[in-house]
Amino acid sequence: MTINSLAKYRPKLHFAPKENWMNDPNGMVYFEGEYHLFYQYHPNGTTWGPMHWGHAVSKDMISWEELDIALYPDEHGTIFSGSAVVDWNNTSGFFPDEPGLVAIFTHHLEGTEGKPSVQTQSLAFSHDKGRTWTKYEGNPVLGHETKVDFRDPKVFWHKETEKWLMSLATGQTITFYSSPNLIDWTFESEFGEGFGSHDGVWECPDLFKLKVEDSDEEKWVLIVSIGDNPKFDQGSFTQYFTGSFDGSTFTADHDSIKLLDFGKDNYAGVSFSDIPDEDGRRIYLGWMSNWRYANQIPTEGWRSQMTLPRELSVRKVGENYKVIQKLVEELDSYFSKNVDINECVVEGTKTLELDESSVDLTLHLERVNADQFGITVHHTENQYTTLTFDQAKNALVLDRKHSGQIDFSDMFLLDQEVKLDSTNDVKLRLVVDSASIELLVNDGEYSLTSLVYPDKACEAISIHTSNGSIKARGYVSSLGK
């Protein structure tokens, strides 16, 4: 294997491991000036295997330093997903001198001789900003006698009741537990039956409170990832619920399915713990892949990358509450604005020559009378990805059938579609990296995250119309070659 083969498709802006396999983000926490990203990691291969916690740190969530493996398998099993918190007040007793980090994770012990696997929750703690970890001698701290799927603890401090709250994935429900000390856990409630999608196993929950834009209202949001079901073409995906939480029970506003992302490649995402109050953001990132083809994607020596970090909020649209995603402002400093798209009428095709390693496009499109219009990202002369707005269907469709290497999965060829309220007036933020396209529509109301595997990131971008015209304005920024 050559250095060039390792570098092919490696992102400029997204975290990817230097080598070997990665999946779910874990233990995301901010502490003493550093963002910590832990992640499901197999250090001995490029396909899913015995899980460890990999570890990286960053000052800005864009440039990451990969550190030593944080957690290794032991007698209780391999190390599945979980979360990390700062124990500011030494509720655990692990930090008599100064605050430190506690990881809460799932131990997965494979079944033997016909017995099912066992999943339990365990603790580890660090006194040196996450560089070394000590597993709690009383592990595991939480188990279940009958539930086989019992995993992915996401923990936070609930100020109103002065206790730790855990959201846990339990089959096709989320179960909530509470604790005064992260060690002793009490059942609170269970949510999920009759709500949302049950097409696959529920995974990687996250519960938090967000402000509703332009109001004094607040909403609790519960994120739930849905595992791949081979009966359907979606693969793995993520849904969310808005509602209320009283410290014990989550009450949803709706029983309908609300997708966090309409692309194929944003899964198992959760948010950072302990972002300072003076910052105030709820920042999320996901694993940029899909279980349907994650083990087959055409990278050599390494597999998988994370999405760009996104700031979350809630927007009331009509009578519905929607989770809104915006790329974090830290990303802006990596780009320089270099091409203005002055307001113009496009009928046919308008092309911008770029030839860049990464591109950030902001665009406002107003339909005059075109039946269809859209954008094509020209990776090379013969490789391209097309975004089409269809006025008749009020839909945005992403087509990556010509985007480069595609032969590793039949599902990779399927169109990705977002139903919009209208295509008459749309705002886009589009970031193209070496092997990905992230699209946010209408100031973050819709998200579409998609892997692509072209020979180059972007040689040009064109705006095109069919049977009529549109008005277009915006700008393109780039990292440079």
Enumerate residues 6+ apart whose C-beta is below 8 A from 162: none
Residues 360, 435, single domain; the answer is yes
Q: Are 57 and 35 in contact (CB under 8 A)?
A: yes
Give the integer Cα–Cα distance in Å for 169 and 152.
6
Residues 283 and 340 in one domain: no
Q: What's the mean pLDDT in 140-157?
A: 97
pTM of the predicted structure, to 2 decimals? 0.97
Q: Is residue 185 part of a domain?
A: yes
Q: Report the alpha-carbon distance of residue 86 to residue 448 in Å, rounded.
A: 32
**Claim to verify: residue 278 and residue 341 sit in the same structural domain:** no
Note whether residue 240 is domain-resident: yes
Q: Are residues 353 and 251 in the same domain?
A: no
Residue 223 domain-assigned (yes or no): yes
Mean pLDDT score of the chain, rounded to an integer?
96
Which residue's structure tokens are 């949302």?
196
- Distance separating the N- and C-terminal Cα atoms of the chain: 25
Given pLDDT bands bounded at 50, 70 and 90, which one contains residue 1? low
In this structure, are 81 and 105 located in the same domain? yes
According to DSSP, residue 13 is labeled S
| Inter-CA distances, 96 with 88, 122, 136, Å | 10, 21, 15
SS3 content of the chain, % helix, strand, coil (to 5): 5, 50, 45
pLDDT tens-digit readout, 189-240: 999 999 999 999 999 999 999 999 999 999 999 999 999 999 999 999 999 9
Q: pLDDT tens across 245-288, in order?
A: 999 999 999 999 999 999 999 999 999 999 999 999 999 999 99
For residue 49, the domain's CATH number is 2.115.10.20
pLDDT band at 339 (very low <50, low <70, confident <90, very high): confident
Band (pLDDT 50/70/90 cuts) for residue 113 is confident
Which CATH number do you get for residue 373?
2.60.120.560
Cα angle for residues 433, 436, 438 (degrees, 5° grid) = 95
| Residue 3 pLDDT exceeds 60 | no
Domain count of the fold of the chain: 2
> Would 3 be classed as within a structural domain?
no
Model pLDDT, residue 158: 98
Residues 316 and 383 in one domain: no
Task: Please check whether residues 320 and 345 belong to one and the same domain.
Answer: no
Taking 80 as the threshold, does the pLDDT of residue 337 lie above it? no
Which string of DSSP letters, residue by residue, matches 62-129?
A: SS-EE----B--BTTBEEEEEEEEE-TT-TTSS-SSS--EEEEEEEEE---TTPPPEEEEEEEEESST
Looking at the fold, whether 80 and 178 belong to one and the same domain comes out as yes
Given this model, what pLDDT does residue 479 score?
86
Q: Which residues constitute the domain of residue 417?
A: 335-478
Question: In angstroms, what CA-CA distances link 111 with 29, 108, 115, 117?
Answer: 32, 9, 5, 4
Same domain, 319 and 343: no
Do residues 470 and 351 share a domain?
Answer: yes
| Residues designated as active site | 24
Q: What is the pLDDT of residue 114?
A: 83
Determine the pLDDT at residue 48: 98
Q: Is the peptide bond before 140 cis (omega within 30 degrees of 0)?
A: yes
Residue type, 455: D
Spatial neighbors of 53 by CB under 8 A, at least 6 apart, are 26, 27, 38, 39, 40, 41, 69, 70, 71, 79, 103, 105
Specify the pLDDT at position 480.
Answer: 56
Instruction: Provide the pLDDT for residue 115.
Output: 87
C-alpha distances (whole Å) from 49 to each of 22, 37, 40, 334 are 10, 20, 10, 34
Q: Is 214 left (phi over 0), alpha (psi -120 to 50) or beta?
A: left
Shared domain for 118 and 242, answered yes or no, is yes
